[in-house]
Amino acid sequence: MPKGVNMTHRNLLIWTAVFLLSTCVCGLAEDKKPAKPNILWIVAEDLGCDLACYGVKGSYTPNLDQLAKEGVLFTHAHTTAAICAPSRSSFMTGLYPHQVNAKYMRPGPPFVKKNLPEGVDVFTKYIRDAGYTIGLCGRPKRDWGFENPRLKPYDETDWNVVSAKQPFFCQFQYYETHPAFHPCPEHPVDTAKIELPPYTPETPAARKEFGLYLEYLTVLDTKVGDLIADLKKKGLYESTIIFFIGDNGPALFRGKCFVHKRGIQMPLIVRVPAKYDVGIKPGTVNEELVSSLDLAPTFIDLVGGSAPSYLEGRILFGPHRRDEPEFLYAQWDNLDVVTDRVRSVHSKKWQYIRNFTPGISYYEQGHRNVEAVRAAKEIYDQGKLPERYTSYFKPKPAEELYDLETDPFELTNLAEEPSRKTELEKMRNALQTWIKRTNDSDQLEDPAMIKEMLRLQEEERKAAVIQRRKKAKAPPED
């Protein structure tokens, strides 16, 4: 055979090998590109920043602490409202409660629950549009202040069904840390060694209650650990981004129901597997101001979805991350028969609270089934409560201003200090600008209608009890 033919054949073989090799390498490169991440969003009820990783004495939360070590711990994350239904309406829509007709807690007849505004839906719509299965697992609590959205918000409620579908977005909810608190025999809390916040009157009841809350938190941590273990068993841990939050502050003294930091500051931990490069380094602490409004745009961005332009929040990390805001805002409007209107704005340094309804005390505003509150009220009625705590049972001031750097527990109101006039005016103007921009109405609900709503709810509750008793006494069917 001529040499020229042999050389041509050899060259052909070489080029064929090069082509096949390059195709293989390109295929490997494409295989290395990660598929869309699953997202597991864990929501706890009535939980403050009381995990051990936040430095709280007596807290035992090894599973959540480990999650923080593998992810990022946010120290300045806040809800938009101090109680569940308005708060949840915000993180489900990306708008403030009053913007979605949801500022009041669980409205019922004679009130008519309102629909979402035209063009607004819960954010899971945009996650589904990106090709995801949407799950609501654990406690199936929706508890939004608005009427059910136009489109189905979730696809599945069985965790095993949800986790078998790729990719999935799952909102997994736990009741633990909601009162009544339950003990954790395996890890009891020594109430003598825990630290009560300095605004909480020192009583045995307050210590016992806080200790039980911390033990119940350990129960929650164990269940979260079981869920993470299940993810690992299914081989999904390294393909799932995990968020952990609380929906509002704890049901403790000056916690839930208050727009002071204790009532609106939420725990936030995010773990992102290494193959999804969004700029998060494991074991870091993020001190930026974060709102629960930021969850919706961040979730939508992570799944590659298209977010609506009306969202109030920002994307927290990744290539589309936006800078932190100067201010965060929160609100409070009612609990049971007490109709109130409280608004707050805070920066890293300053917290400003405007109490619009005269004559209402903190005691009337808050949950009165808190044991620490009951104990303090009894001492107050006896005239024996130390003076530094008595303001809780007196009418609230119209304005409150706190220096969060020097006074993180918000003990000293500086609103009437002449030396703080500049800061007061700045925060007051910031709040007023926000009220105007978001169309926050100052109209209060009719107290008589609220009383009627509660009367009807009590009748419904009693009827349900009677029905259960009749059913229990009924003879078994043949």
**CATH number of the domain enclosing 125:** 3.40.720.10
Distance CA(21)–CA(52), nearest Å, equals: 53
Give the long-range contacts of residues 323-329, CB within 8 A, separation 24 or more. 324/288, 324/289, 324/290, 325/289, 325/291, 326/289, 326/430, 327/289, 327/430, 327/434, 328/78, 328/289, 328/291, 329/80, 329/96, 329/431, 329/434
Q: Is residue 411 part of a domain?
A: yes
Q: Which residues pair with 169 in a beta bridge?
A: 39, 134
Looking at the structure, tell me whether residues 271 and 346 fall in a common domain: no
Q: Which residues pair with 350 in a beta bridge?
A: 403
Looking at the structure, tell me whether residues 305 and 339 fall in a common domain: no
Whether the Cβ atoms of residue 317 and residue 138 lie closer than 8 Å to each other:
no
Q: Is residue 461 part of a domain?
A: no
Looking at the structure, tell me whether residues 281 and 197 fall in a common domain: yes
Looking at the structure, tell me whether residues 183 and 138 fall in a common domain: yes
Nearest to 80 by CA among 324, 334, 344, 434: 344
Looking at the structure, tell me whether residues 150 and 268 fall in a common domain: yes
Looking at the structure, tell me whether residues 345 and 298 fall in a common domain: no
Give the long-range contacts of residues 11-20, CB within 8 A, separation 24 or more. none
Q: What is the pLDDT of residue 114?
A: 81
Count of domains forming the chain: 2
Looking at the structure, tell me whether residues 320 and 233 fall in a common domain: yes
- Residue 303 CB partners (closer than 8 Å, separation 6+): 36, 37, 39, 127, 130, 131, 132, 167, 169
Distance CA(364)–CA(394), nearest Å, equals: 9
List the domain range (segments joined by +) for residue 231. Answer: 35-326
Looking at the structure, tell me whether residues 270 and 234 fall in a common domain: yes
Looking at the structure, tell me whether residues 272 and 299 fall in a common domain: yes
Looking at the structure, tell me whether residues 44 and 174 fall in a common domain: yes
Q: Is residue 27 part of a domain?
A: no
Nearest to 89 by CA among 293, 347, 386: 293
Secondary structure of residue 402 in the 3-state scheme: strand
Looking at the structure, tell me whether residues 348 and 307 fall in a common domain: no
Q: What is the pLDDT of residue 32?
A: 54
Where among 286, 306, 326 does a domain terminate?
Answer: 326
Per-residue pLDDT of the chain (478 residues; tens, 9 = 90+): 433 334 455 554 444 444 444 444 444 434 455 689 999 999 999 999 999 999 999 999 999 999 999 999 999 999 999 998 899 999 999 999 999 988 877 666 656 678 899 999 999 999 999 999 999 999 998 888 888 788 899 999 999 999 999 999 999 999 999 999 999 999 999 999 999 999 999 999 999 999 999 999 999 999 999 999 999 999 999 999 999 999 999 999 999 999 999 999 999 999 999 999 999 999 999 999 999 999 999 999 999 999 999 999 999 999 999 999 999 999 998 776 567 899 999 999 999 999 998 888 999 888 778 999 999 999 999 999 999 999 999 999 999 999 999 999 999 999 999 999 999 999 999 999 999 999 998 766 666 666 776 676 677 778 878 887 777 776 665 5
The count of other CB atoms within 10 Å of the CB of residue 423 is 18
Q: Is residue 260 part of a domain?
A: yes
Q: Which residues pair with 113 in a beta bridge?
A: none
Looking at the structure, tell me whether residues 223 and 296 fall in a common domain: yes
Q: Look-up: residue for tokens 């965060």? A: 328
Q: Is residue 402 part of a domain?
A: yes
Whether the Cβ atoms of residue 325 and residue 314 lie closer than 8 Å to each other:
yes
| Residues across the chain | 478
